Amino acid sequence: MLQAELEVPKPLEELSEEELDRKRAMSRVMTFTLHYLTSELVSRGFEWLLPVIFSRSTDPLWPDPSASIEKRIELEIYGQTVRVTLSMIVHKMVACSLAYPKLFVLSPNVRIERRERARTGLHAYEFTQLDFEVREATSRQIMDLVEELFCGLLGALRKHMKEELRALGRYRTLRVPDRPFRVYDREELEARYGREWELYFPMSLSEPAWVVNIPREFYDYEDPETGRWDNYDLYLPGFGEVLSGARREWEYEKIVAKMERDGVRKDNYRVLLRLAREGRLKPSAGAGIGMERLVAWITGARHVAETQPFPRVPGVVYEL
């Protein structure tokens, strides 16, 4: 979101009655969005798993070129060191391989972002992802699924949430985009906009678009010959990235080599590595949608934390 720094959202108890009305409208849109997306996934044969809060293994979020995390939370329970969930990607890969070929989960994410991100409008230190994964799926299949869900959601919102969208000033501007969404290569965007392409690219969009081939963590598939990444992020016009996904690595030797290259501690991923070594980790693809970001864009919120009943703004700790 390329704009002047924003005021951070106020806590719930400090909102005026007019501001509370806006908060209620956003909440109704959030409720509708969650109901629509989860119902659609269930109707397509996905199983709804419950989330994990603490785990010995979680997303390393590394390498992290923007060094966005200020602090990683670890604590001891039952004599073991556990971490709060940064994302459930490791759990998704294991669950999808062993028991649930099509799954989704409303996953908690606790990422203590650097406090200078308080006014970007895009970051919260606690947020929820709608995470889903499909065994033996291709990237294109997941991208097609996302486009179907996204366009269906926007059409349903315009039909059933007219009053709320009008109150939020979004009914006239929120349109169902054409499919398929346009696809951009990250290398092309870097050549056009430079290293900060993520700031400028969304401002050029009039409809949602994909960005592919993004260097990322060890679990995204990387072609060992070409160095291209088989992954995809969805960007929204004037806003930014709302979804991140990929085809997954499942071969033991490749996963280990990437961990060693990137300095990722293998001890934190013993179950994943054992399954890969035994041939029990299966190919899959999936994605995670940031629910606060999605609803912020739908409702025209200036800050993602406006969509949270109790805002979680980097660097700001409210009483509730």
Task: Write the pLDDT tens digit of every residue in 221-253.
Answer: 999 999 999 999 999 999 999 999 999 999 999
- Alpha helices (H) along the chain: 17-43, 89-98, 139-160, 162-167, 186-193, 197-200, 252-262, 270-277, 291-299
pLDDT per position as a tens digit, 255-306: 999 999 999 999 999 999 999 999 999 999 999 999 999 999 999 999 999 9
Question: Which residue, among 134, 132, 126, has the nearest Cα to 108 in the 3D structure?
Answer: 126
Contact 94, 271 (CB under 8 A): yes
What is the crossing angle of helices 17-43 and 139-160, to 10°?
130
CA–CA dist 107, 111 (Å, integer): 13
Please count the other Cβ atoms lying within 10 Å of the Cβ belonging to residue 225. 6
Averaged confidence pLDDT in the chain: 95
pLDDT per position as a tens digit, 80-91: 999 999 999 999
pLDDT of residue 66: 54
pLDDT of residue 67: 62
Q: What tokens were used for 13?
A: 């108890």
CA–CA dist 313, 317 (Å, integer): 7
Task: Using pLDDT thresholds of 50, 70 and 90, give the confidence band for residue 55.
Answer: very high
Q: Phi and psi of 191, rounded to 5°?
A: -65, -35
CB-based contacts of 279, cutoff 8 Å, min separation 6: none
Q: What tokens were used for 161?
A: 């949430």
For the chain, percent of residues with pLDDT exceeding 90: 93
Spatial strand order in the sheet of 126-135 = 47-49, 102-110, 126-135, 284-290, 240-247, 231-236, 209-212, 182-185
Q: Is the pLDDT of residue 48 over 80?
A: yes
Contact 145, 212 (CB under 8 A): no
